[in-house]
Chain A
Amino acid sequence: MVDIKQKYNSSKKWTAKSIGSRFQHNFFYFLIKHGGRETAYFFLSFIVLFYILCKPSIRRKTDYYLFHRFKRRCFVQRLADSYKIYLNLGKSLIDKAVIGLLGENKIAMEFFEREKLLGLLQEGRGLILMMAHVGCWQAAMSALRFFKTPVHLLLLREEGDIDRHYFEHAGIASPYRIIDPTGYLGGVLEMMQVLRAGEILCVMGDRLLGGKKGSLAVDFLGGKVLFPISAFKIASVTGAPIVAMNSYKSCSSGYTLEISGIIRVPAEAGKHEQDLVPYVREFALTLESYTTAHPYQFFNFYDMWIEDSQNTEEKRGILNEH
């Protein structure tokens, strides 16, 4: 039997690297170019089925989230849940590649709240767009090109990561400037500079980019999860509003991008980290709502939950079943 504690601890870390090999990626790029999106979806469904049935280590990566989202489910139901999540993830990766390889007009992106975003930007304190690994955030980024103001993205790219961004597929320059979170002081000076220039900063609010430092534990789906707080801290000193926004696949060839919350962090809240908890929780609540509405479009394949959760023992029991 696999040591569940070892499995539990090793699963804590997430990686930006893709599950698929370079060959698999190139195979799908070929399918997209020569057969279109639907052909790629067709092959994807079988490949995902293979992974779900024959690669328990891959399937298990979804169990942490599924446990917190659905609690106890039978094994067959968990298989089906895992299949749906990986299928949706695969489709989002295909859609991202479609945008780059076949053009932005091949994937529809609905966004009805442009004026609201532009209004917030006009406040002159910059704008923090806080997204998460749900839906297709890269397609969402492509939909934000209506901004005339420069957009900057805090993005971790690991050595050996073969997954490409849509603009790399298209062979065009990045439409946004990338800030490296592993750079000097985690990129916070650049992030402040961006906001003080009244520009737009995009961050992923659901994953730690490094160690536990610079994070706070808040409730999320029945347990405590560490969320990164540097964006909240910077918002408190710059006065920039944080806009929680996410996309979801709303039809076969399209996504809807929506604003799920506007978080304003007062200056005094940044003085002590614990004072940021209500604002981080506000973001976590927007994610909880998202998982209620779109349970199979949440793509965090590691154990986000820290061990003080009352569900830990029950979760270990379920993870030990297969």
Chain B
Amino acid sequence: MNIKENLKKILIEELNLDDLTPEEIEDDAPLFGEGLGLDSLDAVELVVLLEKHFGVEVKNLDEGRAAFQSINTLVAFIEERLVQ
């Protein structure tokens, strides 16, 4: 399973998005507000699940702002960190 598929599956499980399937989560849709509809409390959980499942840490606001735009930006962030 590639990172994107794995990430979507984890998001559904960890953020209680039970009414969604991985296929229904659009790669470019915003994660917060419109799109996936996550809120600031989900952001806390997102930081934790990135560490728990991928071993990558969101160190500051700027990193978070760039990474948390969409599934694609999140995957790019994970891949970049895993390479480092």
**Contact status A237-B44, CB under 8 Å:** yes
**Contact status A188-B45, CB under 8 Å:** no
Contact of B39 among A190, A214, A270, A272 (CB under 8 A): A214
B53 contacts chain A at the CB level, 8 A cutoff:
no
Which residue on A lies nearest to B38, using beta carbons?
A: A185
Contacts of B65 in A (CB 8 A): 184, 189
A253 contacts chain B at the CB level, 8 A cutoff:
no
> Given that A213-B39, A214-B39, A272-B16 are known contacts, is A184 also in contact with B44, CB under 8 Å in the complex?
no
A245 contacts chain B at the CB level, 8 A cutoff:
no
A193 contacts chain B at the CB level, 8 A cutoff:
yes
Residue tally, chain A, CB below 8 Å to B = 19
**Contact status A193-B60, CB under 8 Å:** yes
A192 contacts chain B at the CB level, 8 A cutoff:
yes
Mark A residues whose CB is within 8 Å of B: 184-186, 188-190, 192-193, 213-214, 229-230, 233-234, 237, 270-273
> Given that A184-B65, A185-B32, A185-B64 are known contacts, is A193 also in contact with B59, CB under 8 Å in the complex?
yes
> Given that A184-B65, A185-B68 are known contacts, is A192 also in contact with B40, CB under 8 Å in the complex?
no
Sorting the interface of chain B by its residue count into under 10, 10 to 19, 20 to 34 or 35 or more gives: 10 to 19
Contacts of A192 in B (CB 8 A): 44, 47
**Contact status B60-A230, CB under 8 Å:** no
**Contact status B61-A184, CB under 8 Å:** yes
**Contact status B61-A189, CB under 8 Å:** yes
**Contact status A188-B44, CB under 8 Å:** yes
**Contact status B45-A230, CB under 8 Å:** no
Contacts of B75 in A (CB 8 A): none
Contacts of B44 in A (CB 8 A): 188, 192, 230, 233-234, 237, 270
